[in-house]
Structure 1
Amino acid sequence: MHIPTPEELRSRRDTLGMKQTELAKRAGISQSMVARIEAGNVDPRVSTLNKIINVLNSSEPRKIHAIQIMHTPVLSVQPEDSISRAVDIFEKNNISQLPVIERGIPVGCISESVIVKAIEQQRLHKAHNFSVRDFMETGFPTVPPEMDVETVINILQQNHAVLVVEGRMVRGVITKHDLISLIV
């Protein structure tokens, strides 16, 4: 068992942005006792040290993980699905991109912008039965369920969505909208 030094206690309290008076009040001891312990002028009882450590531990900000903010079910299409199926999902759900998932494993994505570009280039005609595979792009980045939200935020700065994958199977999706609702 590691017994923290006075410097470690002070550093941890400072990192948490906590004043000596707040720590003292929450631990049920005097502010002067906290000051003397942090200065190394007094060796506290084990019970006093435990009170301080418990307050510091309970004050740690709780990490939010991908699994806590992802949403399910994940709307998706399969590579063999028709383009019209993807367009129907876009319209019904007011979205512009979908992951392409085959047997639970992400293999790419399809977006309205790629479909529109194909129409503009006259590669996409109603007479043809194109599949999602014909216009599939590189997939969304993936993260494990225990990934911290700060990393997810960084990834979403460059991408529209992040898939939460456990093993190789998609478990959920996180979009920029999910982060906005997290803040609100």
Structure 2
Amino acid sequence: MEFPDLIKIKKLRKSLKLSQTELAERVNLTQSTISRIENGQLDPPYSKVQQVFKFLENEKKKRTDANQTVEQIMTKVIKKLSPDSNLREAVKVMNEHNISQLPVFKDDKNIGSITSNKAQKLIIKNPDLLKVDLLSIMGLPFPEVDISWNLKDISHLLLKYPAVLIKNYQNYVGIITDADFLKLG
């Protein structure tokens, strides 16, 4: 394996818009050491070079991942049920598609939701609830955001809600869940 030239440190650092001081703090070196490495005035130990390159590459990857768009990670086909579907149907759809939450729609409007956790609790409490319409047991609807929202803001919503529906103008175009964010890692 060939290691990149030391002069590439400066290029990488500048492309990430990091100052020498910021880089030095992140890799536990001094600013003058970074400056001397970049200018070819110091031949640092391999471990220090490796540490600097590893940090710069990780930072580059993090920033690339953060620039992904909603459209790139959302699930474009929204599995949904109507309020007159029963809990048994909801469980069947969740199992068939390996999902843990479903929005409930009526006349193309997001009116509620059902999650696998809620379904499990209801079934344990009373197995007869499998026959009950979702309208009488559904939870609040998932929040809706425009496709232009950034992933960071959506990730904050996912701390409170199991899913977020994505709209483009008035049309539902996708759904994002925690599982979609795990794909970034």
- 1:154, distance to aligned residue in structure 2 (A): 1.5
Structure 2 contact 101–116 (Cα < 8 Å) conserved: yes
* Alpha-carbon distance in 2 for matches of 1:96, 1:17: 41
Residue type of the alignment partner of 1:81: S
- 1:135, distance to aligned residue in structure 2 (A): 0.9
Structure 1 contact 115–135 (Cα < 8 Å) conserved: no
TM-score under structure 2 length normalisation? 0.59
Counterpart mapping for 1:25-174 below 5 A: 63-122=67-126, 124-125=127-128, 129-174=131-176
Stretches of structure 1 that go unaligned for 5 or more consecutive residues are 1-12, 20-59
Please report the RMSD computed on the Cα atoms of aligned residues, expressed in angstroms. Answer: 2.7
Structure 2 contact 142–164 (Cα < 8 Å) conserved: yes
* Alpha-carbon distance in 1 for matches of 2:137, 2:170: 23
Counterpart mapping for 1:17-28 below 5 A: 17=18
Stretches of structure 2 that go unaligned for 5 or more consecutive residues are 1-13, 21-62
* CA 14–164 in structure 1, closer or farther in 2 if over 3 Å, else same: same
TM-score under structure 1 length normalisation? 0.59
Structure 1 contact 106–170 (Cα < 8 Å) conserved: no
Secondary structure of the equivalent of 2:141? coil
**How many residues are matched?**
129
* Alpha-carbon distance in 1 for matches of 2:145, 2:93: 24
Secondary structure of the equivalent of 1:125? helix
* Alpha-carbon distance in 2 for matches of 1:110, 1:121: 16
* Alpha-carbon distance in 2 for matches of 1:113, 1:156: 16
Equivalent of residue 180 in structure 2, options 178, 181, 184: 178
Calculate percent identity across the aligned residue pairs.
23
- 1:15, distance to aligned residue in structure 2 (A): 8.0
* Alpha-carbon distance in 2 for matches of 1:14, 1:117: 51
